Structure 1
Amino acid sequence: MGVGNVSERRNEAPQVGVTSVILALGPADDGERRRLWMPLVRRIREPYLGAWALPGGPLKAGRSLERSAYETLASTTDLHPKYLEQLYTFGDPERSRGGVPMVSICYWALVGQVDVASLETKHNVAWFADDALPELAFDHRRIVDYATWRLRHRLDMPQVVRELVGDEFTLRELHAVSEAIEGHSIDLANFRRRTLASGMIEETGARRRVGRQRPAALYRFRSDADGIAGDAGSVADAALPQGFGVSELSRFANVDAHMDADDAHMSALSALTTDTRV
């Protein structure tokens, strides 16, 4: 049976898929600020044949949304992120370029420092810095913009930042992570002053040498830091990324369904093939 003409395809029930944005902290490069990196998949079918896209695949019977998201991660990279959160659902009728309508339930995952240069390309997968992305298929650039915007406005949430900087860190390491997330240089002296005054971190009593610097004090987030962060402000106070309408703000601000990665899910996953239909 044929797939029908454009009008018939547009009137079909939407396909539902899961798409993932994987954000990894890349290493410092010759004294430059650190950057966020993400894996993209080169499409092997129309629409957008040959274009780069976020990893994703159709939602299959018998699998939860979270399980499906983990499968897209496993099929793309050998990394095992412990932080996975539902991001948003994208379903504009025009996103499939005249094909069968597609709804993508998007997740984002965070991993700590990654030596991007050592990651092997597989299954048409390559890693790109978030400020040097190629043109993306569908509305995937819009998805990336929202994921990075959301991360930048989670900088005051320890459970998010901890995934990138670790449980214990120096102020210089925390500063480097903040620069990578914000996407620009941040004055170190002002950052130290604001961070120490926030009341969210405390010294561990230990010290660590970073590079050629003298040993620096190690810090950690206080046990009550999440409550302090919750009183500090709201995502609604920030500007949306370019291209997002103000009317979307209230919906974006309420997308807050955090879930912890379940190691049992990861151990149950087998080798998978990346599907780039959504």
Structure 2
Amino acid sequence: MRYRKLVQTMAMIGLILAATGLSFGAYHHMGEDDSDAFLAVYPDKAGTKLDSCNLCHSGGQYTNSKGQLVPLGSCQWCHYAYGYDASGNIDETLNGYGKAYSANGGNSEEPAVRKAAIEAIKSLDSDGDAYTNQIEIAATRYPGDKKDDPSKVAAPYRVYSLEQLEAMPQHEQFLLMNTHKSDDHYAEYSGVPVSDILQNSGILASATDITVYAPDGFSQFHPLSLDPNPIFYHVNGTYPQATFYYDEQADISKITVVWCDYSSPSCTRRTN
């Protein structure tokens, strides 16, 4: 039987690496050109944590139904505040560096003007931490985040090899894996639950949530326990049983311009 490794396992590797400053960047939102302007001025920062949306966009927080403040990463905050329908104000998601870039020509359609905007704000201290943007960028620190500056020391961390993960107890789950730039797949996946890795790595008993960083720089907030807001996927506990759904019009083995792969042996004999 064919298995696919759970995305959570690989995402957890990103979480652990992120604490070391070794996190990978290069998450470029579809259709944006600002990363090209930044890399034209700082080509050595390609693939680092600065090569991502976090360079110009901040996180935020909202109050849930229990009256608790829930922190969101830059991607989630942008979708929450700006909206998938772009009905919000994008400027509200910008950090100090993003605002300085925008004010100096970052919204221009001309690549040369956007590059000039990056050059123009080198000597500024956009986050007010007493380090200029250029000094922070040279140290691979966020120039728009006051909490991240060249004086910071990496937090304790654990790195798991693939062999170590494969040696841990595995969980198997049949599910639909949605992907952004390729086909969706119904298949049986196996991997190590994130909750097991957290316990193995020594997570504090007082912890309430985690932020998972993917190799491309994308980050996602996850509460450890069930949150009333359905947009958040909790770490501990179980999820309601889902329903398998087959649609011939979506089957890539029958029609070319579609999106769902039902070829896994674990799909055999399953019906709607």
TM interval, shorter chain, is: under 0.3
Higher strand share: 1
TM-score by length of 2: 0.26
Structure with bigger RCO (C-alpha 8 Å, 6+ apart): 1
The TM-score, its normalising length taken from structure 1, stands at 0.26
Greater C-alpha radius of gyration: 2
